[in-house]
Structure 1
Amino acid sequence: MLNDSGLFALSSGCLILREEERERPLSEVNRCHGTMSIYKSNISKNKVDLKQAQYKDIDKRYFDQLIQLKTTKMANKDLDKYYNALDKALMSF
């Protein structure tokens, strides 16, 4: 039997299945558009947050803190070596 859309429908189940197959890509596209709009709103919110005073020159402050951390770790390692050498020297004396 030929229906209005030009498809031969052996049963109503086949026709419904074909409609679902056509709607599936559309629902995927709509889901992706929704996800993208959420990401875009998060990006715009984060851009506003980054303009606050607490984030001013954040790159420079981060780099300065990183240098301080690495320098402190190296000094701690040197002090540990010095302590071990001094301890050995005192024990052998």
Structure 2
Amino acid sequence: MIVIANRASGKVTETVFSVRSDDNWNSAKVTDEYKFGKVYLTTGAIRKDQLYVLHSDLVSLIQAPQDQKAKLRTKATIQQVANIRQ
């Protein structure tokens, strides 16, 4: 399973976690982490065993004063993260 977490356990993580379970999800362990800067990850997709995440620096938009919001970037970034074997 892939988990995209901007926050986990009350901490800002900006991390994509790969999580695995061998007992039908009675327990699980993190098998890999992919850390990002302050980009506010929002979405992930897998295509041909490649994991991609989308980020658009939403934190800047959220924190910007109202009169500055229109000047902020309106495009998002799609970034390849890792090869995932399903």
Q: Which has the larger radius of gyration?
A: 1
- Superposition TM-score, scaled by structure 1 size: 0.19
Which one scores higher on RCO, CA 8 angstroms, separation ≥ 6?
Answer: 2
- Compare the two structures and name the one with the higher strand fraction: 2
- Compare the two structures and name the one with the higher helix fraction: 1
- Superposition TM-score, scaled by structure 2 size: 0.20
